Amino acid sequence: MRIAIIITIAAFFAATVPATAQYSGFINSDGKNQIKESVFRHGRHTYVQYTIDGTPVTETMVEERLRAYEPSAMQLHIGQKDLTRGLLCGGAAILAAIGGAIQANQQRGSTGSVFTKAPVLFSVSIAGLIGEFVFLSKRNEHFSKAIEAYNARF
């Protein structure tokens, strides 16, 4: 069990190492290439449409443009790190919950709830779920900041 925890912690810290940004070949400096975001509601669902110079584009095309400009690429990289950290926290939460269930199952004869039989592992599990929620909710903020950084040069 200690090895699984050490591997999870090592993978979490490995995700914080910065990687190089990917660059595409086109950067235009005329003021017509601003990325605009339009939000549409259709019933209970919300849709986002991106336009560049009045023409609708896909999210992949927007990401290519954002990766071509270094300040935007850095914001996307931070968002990617948050996604990785969120997924690692979620994985750690699942592993800790499984370990806590195994430990509580081994102490079946003793009194108390499953949370009192394995308090550390269940606490790590709850902390992992909270960390996953926080990191994954912060990821979308960085995409918006990348668009703002891209549009700031026009």
Answer whether residue 102 is part of any domain. Answer: yes
Q: What is the DSSP string of 77-130?
A: HHHHHHHHHHHHHHHHHHHHHHHHHHHHHHTTTSSS-HHHHSHHHHHHHHHHHH
Residues 6+ apart with CB under 8 A from 70: 21
Domain assignment present for residue 52? The answer is no
- Residue 49 lies inside a defined structural domain of this protein: no
- Whether residue 22 lies inside any domain: the answer is no
pLDDT score for 111: 86
Give how many domains the chain has, as a whole number: 1
Kindly state whether residue 64 falls inside one of the protein's structural domains: yes
Distance CA 18, CA 134 (A): 20
21 in a domain, yes or no?
A: no
Would you say 117 and 109 are in contact if contact means Cβ atoms under 8 Å apart? no
pLDDT truncated to tens, each residue of the chain (154 aa)?
Answer: 566 556 555 555 555 544 444 434 444 555 567 898 888 888 898 888 999 888 899 989 999 999 999 999 999 999 999 999 999 999 999 999 999 999 999 998 888 888 899 999 999 999 999 999 999 999 889 998 999 999 998 7
Note whether residue 145 is domain-resident.
Answer: yes
- Domain-embedded: residue 42: no
DSSP state of 20: P
If one counts every other C-beta atom within 10 angstroms of the C-beta of residue 143, the result is 18
pLDDT at 12: 54
Which residue range(s) make up the domain with 84?
2-16+60-151
Q: Whats the size of the chain, residue-wise?
A: 154
Residue with tokens 């549409």: 40
